[in-house]
């Protein structure tokens, strides 16, 4: 084929594939089969292979490309991507309506009402109609450049229908079906499951390898313009119509109303219909439609005065308590779990709910066979909130906690008048198995490829009995390859991750050992104070309690743990295997002059730029003390997205509240 003919054919194929992408992923009305679509893509790919200089960034073949990135570059938003204030009921919406009309001198106001997609906020930049950059919301001022990953989402046009320069803002999300498929695959591989579609979407877009993002079947809805060059629109609804005409995917379930009571009626309808959608929503967004009125209303420090997010009440469902199962955790605590008749709740099928301890069962008056009301706390964690005794038939039966361990048969005990029953047999297989799952977890030794199912397989096959055995697995590679779902690549990756964990700073090991009452924060305090594992092992209770944040009970637990011959044997084996035993982290600077020095700080909500653990470490290094609850002794509350009751309490007590942007700014100042 000559060059001129190839160029013409390539252009035809690109236009045809773009049209089918739009029909399938945006308009939901495909015209051809997957096989026919794949044939068009193969034909285009073959031609581009013959004429590689004709490949352009907007070609459909470039949806997945490029090598994994070492890190994400930061992107400063031209105008902030602010979060919205919340409304939790009709009265809150009426108050919002009154504030808006009062500020506008009682002008006529029209409201646009849209579904609030539960995903990750994104910003898409186009120059002369070409997609050039995509970013996360981040802290609202600074996000991360995730262009490579966003290019893999087929509902995002790589080229607009007109050569406009603009910024479009929207939400990337994972459809329910894709979420269920992903979790099923992760379960089969023995990996931790995602809690909800929002977490999975956010995790997918923050993968450094775009091929992983491409495999996750993400989608988008675009909800507004951040910038528009060369054209003018006068309202939010006109802006959405323009975006739709440019081939963006805009949610069709949107309406403009002249009266807030009509908005409330529309919201009530979607509160009921919400489970029918193929994607998750966590509320509705109400915006003043006129851009001129939006400009007149302006912004507070955190949010626009012309928009508000209505949050749905926690979804509840009635089902039957079919049984109660007890499990033994890594510390020996025996925890009851409700086994429920499967029920659909907030987009997922719920079969289990935590009951925490025997007292909860007694307080709720639960009987096996009871009809119960279940809700998801924060739309994530299933819990039983009420029993319906009026539905009892007389066939219900009481539940009694076991007196002996369901795993090893040892007598269960209550220690120090605790609520929880415990198995104290250190040889109990449940303690070893659950302890191993904790040992490899992210906050501990962070060994990827060792999920719960893989750990269970290794125990059942006799390849491991304690954490030290992990570091002998390289000698058992042939046996590993004979295990179910253990191919050469997965085995080699797992062994490499185990080898890499030897270089961790010792606080990860201390936390991973699962010493009762010693969390990640206390592990770091111990590691920083003593410098190595030997100092901790040989410390007396008196020496330990002289350290801030190490109380008498924790000190006794530490001394008790290291007094056991089997504990010292494990440490000796880990030393011989080459596992690091010293503190490698940065030490807290004594007498530092920082805004956090000597302050008591509480973190609440989700931070976009770092994990909570990272934030706690940075605060600790600057002389601050992080606690879990807000009180009159709290000096500062750092509030991320979806901050809840802690933020409300801080505001009532008049405590200084910092958003993430202010927190990051203080961290930067402290470096200088």
Residues 343 and 354 both lie in one domain: yes
Residues 18 and 57 both lie in one domain: yes
Residues 341 and 235 both lie in one domain: no
pLDDT at 394 over 90: yes
Residues 332 and 298 both lie in one domain: no
Residues 185 and 268 both lie in one domain: yes
Question: Domain of 363: which CATH number?
Answer: 2.40.50.140
Length of the chain: 672
> Is the distance from CB of 637 to CB of 646 less than 8 angstroms?
yes
Residue 406 lies in a domain: no
Residue 383 lies in a domain: yes
CA distance 469 to 579: 12
Q: pLDDT digits over 353-366, tens only?
A: 988 888 889 989 99
User: What tokens does 392 get?
Assistant: 């009892």
Residue 399 lies in a domain: no
Percent of the chain at pLDDT exceeding 70: 93
Q: What is the pLDDT of the chain when averaged over all its residues?
A: 87
- Looking at residue 399, what is its pLDDT? 94
Question: Domain of 14: which CATH number?
Answer: 1.10.287.610
Residue 198 lies in a domain: yes
Parallel, antiparallel or unpaired: strands 600-604 and 130-136 = unpaired
- Looking at residue 627, what is its pLDDT? 82
Max Cα-Cα span within the chain: 86
Query: Is 630 or 485 the better-scoring residue by pLDDT?
Result: 630
Query: Is 333 or 62 the better-scoring residue by pLDDT?
Result: 333
Burial class (CB in 10 A: 0-12, 13-18, 19+), 149: buried
The set of long-range contacts for 640-644, using a CB threshold of 8 Å and a minimum separation of 24, is 640/603, 640/604, 640/605, 640/606, 640/607, 640/608, 641/83, 641/605, 641/606, 641/607, 641/608, 642/605, 642/606, 643/604, 643/605, 644/604, 644/605
Residues 129 and 216 both lie in one domain: yes
pLDDT at 274 over 70: yes
Q: pLDDT digits over 50-90, tens only?
A: 888 888 777 877 766 555 566 678 888 888 888 888 888 89
Question: Domain of 133: which CATH number?
Answer: 3.30.470.30
Which entry of 101, 116, 181, 632 is annotated as an active-site residue? 116
**Domains: count for the chain:** 6
CA distance 203 to 199: 6
User: What tokens does 445 get?
Assistant: 């030794």
pLDDT at 110 over 90: yes
Residue 227 lies in a domain: yes
Residues 298 and 169 both lie in one domain: yes
pLDDT at 513 over 70: yes
Question: Domain of 628: which CATH number?
Answer: 3.40.50.10190
Residue 321 lies in a domain: yes
From 363, 391, 419, the end of a domain falls on: 391
- Looking at residue 624, what is its pLDDT? 83
From 311, 346, 374, the end of a domain falls on: 311
Residues 195 and 305 both lie in one domain: yes
CA distance 235 to 34: 39
From 503, 522, 549, the end of a domain falls on: 503
Residues 261 and 301 both lie in one domain: yes
The question of whether 116 is a catalytic residue gets the answer yes
Residues 207 and 122 both lie in one domain: yes
Q: pTM for this structure?
A: 0.53
Which residue reads 């990337």 in tokens? 172
Query: Is 261 or 625 the better-scoring residue by pLDDT?
Result: 261
CA distance 194 to 348: 12
Residues 298 and 321 both lie in one domain: no
Residue 493 lies in a domain: yes
Instruction: Give residue 269's domain range.
Output: 85-311
Specify the DSSP element, H or E, that contains 569. helix 565-577
Question: Domain of 484: which CATH number?
Answer: 1.10.150.20
pLDDT at 377 over 70: no
Residue 403 lies in a domain: no
Residues 433 and 562 both lie in one domain: no
Percent of the chain at pLDDT exceeding 90: 45
pLDDT at 592 over 70: no
């Amino acid at each position: 084929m000559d060059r001129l003919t190839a160029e013409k054919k390539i252009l035809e194929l690109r236009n045809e594939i773009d049209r089918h992408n739009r029909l399938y992923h945006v308009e939901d009305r495909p015209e051809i089969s997957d096989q026919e679509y794949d044939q068009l893509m193969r034909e285009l790919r073959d031609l581009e292979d013959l004429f590689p200089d004709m490949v352009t960034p907007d070609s459909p073949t470039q949806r997945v490309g490029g090598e994994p990135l070492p890190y994400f570059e930061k992107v400063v938003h031209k105008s902030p991507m602010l979060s919205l204030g919340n409304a939790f009921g009709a009265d809150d919406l009426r108050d919002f309506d009154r504030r808006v009309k009062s500020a506008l001198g009682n002008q006529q106001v029209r409201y646009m009402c849209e579904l609030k997609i539960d995903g990750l906020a994104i910003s898409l930049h186009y120059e002369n109609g070409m997609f050039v950059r995509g970013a996360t919301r981040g802290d609202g001022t600074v996000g991360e450049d995730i262009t490579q990953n966003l290019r893999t989402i087929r509902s995002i046009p790589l080229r607009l229908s007109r050569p406009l320069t603009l910024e479009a803002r929207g939400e990337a999300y994972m459809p329910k079906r894709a979420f269920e498929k992903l979790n099923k695959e992760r379960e089969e591989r023995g990996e931790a499951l995602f809690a909800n579609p929002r977490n999975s979407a956010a995790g997918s877009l923050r993968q450094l390898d775009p091929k992983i993002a491409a495999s996750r079947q993400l989608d988008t809805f675009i909800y507004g313009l951040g910038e528009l060059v060369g054209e003018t629109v006068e309202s939010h609804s006109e802006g959405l119509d323009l975006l739709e005409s440019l081939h963006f995917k805009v949610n069709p379930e949107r309406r403009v109303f002249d009266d807030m009571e009509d908005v409330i009626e529309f919201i009530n309808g979607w509160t009921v219909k919400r489970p029918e959608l193929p994607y998750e929503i966590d509320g509705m967004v109400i915006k003043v439609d006129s851009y001129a009125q939006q400009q007149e209303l302006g912004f507070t420090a955190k949010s626009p005065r012309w928009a508000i997010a209505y949050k749905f009440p926690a979804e509840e469902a009635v089902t039957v308590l079919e049984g109660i199962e007890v499990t033994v955790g890594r510390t020996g605590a025996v925890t009851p779990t409700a086994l429920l008749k499967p029920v659909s709740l907030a987009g997922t099928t719920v079969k289990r709910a935590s009951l925490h301890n025997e007292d909860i069962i007694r307080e709720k008056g639960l009987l096996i066979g009871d009809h119960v009301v279940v809700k998801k706390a924060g739309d994530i964690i299933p819990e039983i909130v009420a029993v319906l005794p009026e539905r009892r038939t007389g066939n219900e039966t009481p539940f009694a906690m076991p007196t002996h361990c369901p795993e090893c048969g040892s007598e269960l005990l209550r220690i120090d008048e605790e609520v929880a029953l415990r198995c104290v047999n250190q040889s109990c297989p449940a303690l070893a198995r659950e302890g191993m799952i904790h040992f490899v977890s992210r906050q501990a030794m962070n060994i990827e490829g060792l999920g719960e199912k893989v750990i269970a397989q290794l125990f059942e096959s006799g390849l491991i009995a304690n954490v030290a055995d992990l570091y002998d697995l390289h000698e058992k590679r042939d046996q590993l390859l004979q295990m179910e779902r253990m191919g050469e690549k997965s085995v080699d990756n797992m062994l490499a991750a185990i080898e890499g964990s030897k270089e961790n700073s010792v606080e990860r090991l201390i936390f991973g050992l699962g010493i009762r009452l010693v969390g990640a924060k206390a592990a770091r305090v111990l590691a920083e104070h003593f410098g190595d594992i030997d100092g901790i092992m040989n410390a007396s209770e008196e020496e330990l309690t002289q350290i801030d944040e190490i109380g008498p009970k924790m000190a006794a637990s530490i001394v008790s743990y290291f007094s056991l011959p089997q504990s010292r044997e494990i440490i000796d084996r880990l030393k011989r295997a080459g596992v690091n035993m010293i503190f490698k982290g940065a030490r807290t600077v004594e007498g530092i002059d920082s805004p956090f020095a000597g302050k008591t700080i509480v973190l609440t909500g989700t931070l976009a730029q770092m994990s909570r653990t990272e934030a706690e470490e940075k605060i600790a290094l600057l002389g601050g003390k992080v606690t879990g609850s807000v009180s009159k002794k709290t000096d500062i509350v750092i509030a991320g997205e979806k901050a809840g009751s802690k933020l409300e309490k801080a505001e009532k007590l008049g405590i200084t509240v910092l958003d993430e942007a202010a927190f990051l700014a203080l961290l930067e100042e402290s470096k200088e």
